[in-house]
Amino acid sequence: MPTKAQRARMTHAEKLTLRAYHNAHPELTQEVLAVWAKIKFRLSVVPSRKTLSRVLTNHVSAFDSNSARKTNHRVLTNHVSAFDSNSARKTNHRVTSPETEERLLLWIRQCEQYKLSIITGATIRAKADKIHREIVISIPDESGS
């Protein structure tokens, strides 16, 4: 049975460090940078050329609140998530409902304030679904019926 290929997953902070190192040493090849990244960040595997290329060509910082994405030749400004500034994250997730996120974050903070230990990935997803349904129900039908 073939084993699943491992991925070199770097945090946002590591990606920024890699970009800075590349800018300071532009003469280094991607092969050399890949080995440097594996050693520096203690990765389980050497990052692929595709991973390095994506990291090095992504000039829009994940932490820039004014960052924008190009989609279908249009520029869309993303809502900045409360979690976007976390440099330990490995991926960014675009907020699709700012109101849901704000209400969910308020609920999480209240649970933490009251020292409730019910916060798990499953309970957060369930609460997010419940909040989203409440928001959808409260939006009036625009068709007038």
Beta-bridge partner residues of 69: 76
Query: Given this model, what pLDDT does residue 37 score?
Result: 93
Query: Given this model, what pLDDT does residue 3 score?
Result: 65
Helix, strand, coil in percent for the chain, rounding step 5: 45, 5, 50
pLDDT in tens, the chain (145 residues): 566 667 778 888 889 999 999 999 999 999 999 999 999 999 989 999 998 998 888 755 444 434 444 333 333 334 444 444 555 555 666 667 888 889 998 998 998 888 887 778 888 889 989 998 888 887 776 655 5
Q: Within 10 A of 145 (CB to CB), how many other CB atoms are there?
A: 4
Domain boundaries, the chain: 12-57, 95-140
Cβ-proximal residues to 6 (8 Å cutoff; 6+ apart), any chain: 44, 45
Residue 23, judged by CB atoms within 10 A of its CB (0-12, 13-18, 19+), counts as exposed
Q: How far is CA 129 from CA 7, 53, 100, 107, 125, in A?
A: 31, 36, 9, 13, 6
Q: What's the token pair of residue 75?
A: 């520029």
Type of residue at 36 = W
Query: Given this model, what pLDDT does residue 12 score?
Result: 84
Query: Given this model, what pLDDT does residue 135 score?
Result: 86
Query: Given this model, what pLDDT does residue 117 score?
Result: 79
Please give the model's pTM, rounded to 2 decimal places. Answer: 0.46
